Structure 1
């Protein structure tokens, strides 16, 4: 899963600007959300229409297949933990330190993933786009707790936790191996040589293991020392034309090989915060998908004041919630009626692949846990329709820029063309 919101110390870029920072190629699409002449489509499962008929970006992917993969990965990790204890049961005393350390590492990651998912679903509001107010609405938690350390980097319930350097990770693994070897030597016959050698290895391993554990010691010490703070939930509406939208592209070699990743990022200013921004990040498969998704949202914000039916996002309103348990039961009935002969095999396959539990998980995270947040007075008021006299108009600069770039598109230019970029630069100079 992807946690979409976190605080971010990121400077704003001007529309059309390209930069490369720390290997990440950044392309700014906004402020100045002009049309990019792409077909407005959305294939991501993070975008939806809420109960008030407004476009929203959720923090949980509603794809059943993705959740089933998540379940199988967690089952695999639990299987590794349990099977390790059974495999080494006859030599349990020899491998005891290694088993304890690996169980703490894998079991801790499973536990914290579950806790973070519950917290995020309960207190994170989907980013809501309102074309009548011409703004983006989201929740911001101030006075939150400490960010928990992470070995490889992870999204926690308090924000993004940076991973540890490679040398620290290597130090931890070497420390665990040395402790295990030293423990094995302690179990040998009562000879002073093996005892001294084992002691040296255990002390060396403990020293190496201290470096990856040091952030955890600091975390728990600060957690115990600081007074218990009350989180303050703030609901913030940001004008659409003040939101910076950037398409990020990263190609890097990781532990599993070459990885290429695109994300569409919405960077919102926070009232009273000069050095922090609110980041909403959506994974996309390619640059074209990112541009098309942005065009769908941009088109909705430009033409959706009279209703989502007037925009390219209208088809999202007609899509049924196929992630609920009711949708699962309906699917069962359809398969029983259409293929009664193969229905038992199909039902067995869905049981084995945990499809029902995937529906239950998504219904809990998308409907049940966020229900209290969605019924808050601030959220309901923001989503209520406004009289036409109170609709927020598009700025004159943006209207002019859209007219100019559409005229260029009509004669064959693309958003990447220098002629279009010059229009964007003119707007930057005006603003």
Structure 2
């Protein structure tokens, strides 16, 4: 049989290269942080969660979209359960409804709530608390990534979707059945209280809070802790990928993603395991804008970027609703206002924005220890700042001249080869690293 998976990695791409494979395309923007002549430098994906004069933290989670989707699913589930049991009640007849039917009705509504709550809040909180940010330090010209230990482990990670789905099923099923059994117990049809369902229900909730620290303890005992790796800024790989979404017999859509990844110096063509960030950017211009946002911060400083406006939180949401209401009054289009209000209520939008704000302030910071990279992140005297390499300086000048001639970055091919600049020698030794939870810092 033919082997479609190569045993060896493809040669690592260089800045400016473009590759087409399986209907998709990949544009390499870095290594070597070069200007791409983007008209804008915008945080398209809203990944800049904090920055100061020396450092920037980038990560996912600063968006209410997942909570809005969860609110939509909750409304769908509750309406479905209400309609289903209402039809059953009409078919059975009688008023008040049969106690068994009433208990099942309440249990169905509770089931819908638990399904959304366990996955959209408990599981996502577990996921976000195990996704440390990537910290960029412009003065040291280094980027800190948190890297997973190599190889597979016999225990599933706490944010494993299959594991979370199993725990969610235990919570929701026991909640539904427990509600029915409690109803039976209250009306005297059952002799004993359903302690089995209660224990299963409580145990499912406890699992989400107990398993993560237990997993970390076992990993420490087995010496499989994550490590913080300090990667030189000029080695970091930035790529933009365009991939079709395939369905049965047809292409169902397209997606553009931007990725910032740490290369593995000991295995050219590979990246360090479990590190990096991949976000949706909507198109090639969005990817170039996102890269320019990060590059300008690192090369020119915080004054060279304009952070994206905050689009979450109760204050922002209230102002958004007030603007929409004023516009509807100005145009005398109250039907539009009613549609707007119905949609926001259906999505539980105000709660979604409130919880996103809560998650940003209280959940995401738990992903790293309070003193993580404290010394490394302190500002340095300007005399101690790391300087760009000669290759970056020369190539940047060549590129700016090419842009004046109307050339485009994505059409030039390998930038180093194009302008005859020898790439800096690739690192062969591992990057500096230390245990993620350790207090050790590199000066």
Matching of residue 323 in structure 1 with residue 312 in structure 2: yes
Aligned to 1:376: 370
Aligned to 1:247: 240
CA RMSD of aligned residues (A): 4.6
User: Which segments of 5 or more consecutive residues in structure 1 lack a partner in the other structure?
Assistant: 1-8, 92-102, 149-155, 162-226
User: Contact 1:374 / 1:380 at 8 angstroms: preserved in 2?
Assistant: no
**Larger strand proportion, structure 1 or 2?**
1
**For residues 136-151 of structure 1, what are the structure 2 equivalents within 5 Å?**
136-142=143-149, 146-147=155-156
How far did residue 390 of structure 1 move? Answer: 2.0
Task: From the superposition, tell whether residues 389 and 22 of structure 1 become closer, same or farther in structure 2 (CA, over 3 Å).
Answer: same
Aligned match for 1:355, one of 338, 349, 358: 349
How far did residue 290 of structure 1 move? Answer: 0.8
Deviations 1:110-132 (A, max 9, x none): 74454431112223222222211
How far did residue 394 of structure 1 move? Answer: 0.8
CA distance in 2, matches of 1:430, 1:276: 19
Aligned to 2:219: 229
CA distance in 1, matches of 2:123, 2:12: 29
Q: How does the TM-score come out when normalised to structure 1? A: 0.62
CA distance in 2, matches of 1:339, 1:363: 27
Q: How many residues align?
A: 334
CA distance in 1, matches of 2:290, 2:51: 21
CA distance in 2, matches of 1:58, 1:116: 17
Aligned to 1:267: 261
Matching of residue 18 in structure 1 with residue 18 in structure 2: yes
Deviations 1:290-316 (A, max 9, x none): 112212211221111xxx01x1x1x21
User: Contact 1:246 / 1:266 at 8 angstroms: preserved in 2?
Assistant: yes
How far did residue 263 of structure 1 move? Answer: 0.3
Aligned match for 1:130, one of 137, 141, 152: 137
SS in 1 for 2:408: coil
CA distance in 2, matches of 1:287, 1:329: 33
How far did residue 21 of structure 1 move? Answer: 3.8
Aligned to 1:211: none
Task: From the superposition, tell whether residues 88 and 76 of structure 1 become closer, same or farther in structure 2 (CA, over 3 Å).
Answer: same
Q: How does the TM-score come out when normalised to structure 2? A: 0.61
Aligned to 2:186: none
SS in 1 for 2:388: coil
Deviations 1:363-408 (A, max 9, x none): 2322211234456212333332111122111111111111111122
How far did residue 34 of structure 1 move? Answer: 1.2
CA distance in 1, matches of 2:51, 2:423: 40
SS in 2 for 1:362: helix
User: Which segments of 5 or more consecutive residues in structure 2 lack a partner in the other structure?
Assistant: 1-8, 93-109, 164-216, 426-443
CA distance in 1, matches of 2:51, 2:412: 42
User: Contact 1:265 / 1:281 at 8 angstroms: preserved in 2?
Assistant: yes
SS in 2 for 1:15: coil
**For residues 287-306 of structure 1, what are the structure 2 equivalents within 5 Å?**
287-304=284-301
Aligned to 2:383: 389
CA distance in 1, matches of 2:83, 2:11: 48
Aligned match for 1:405, one of 399, 406, 412: 399
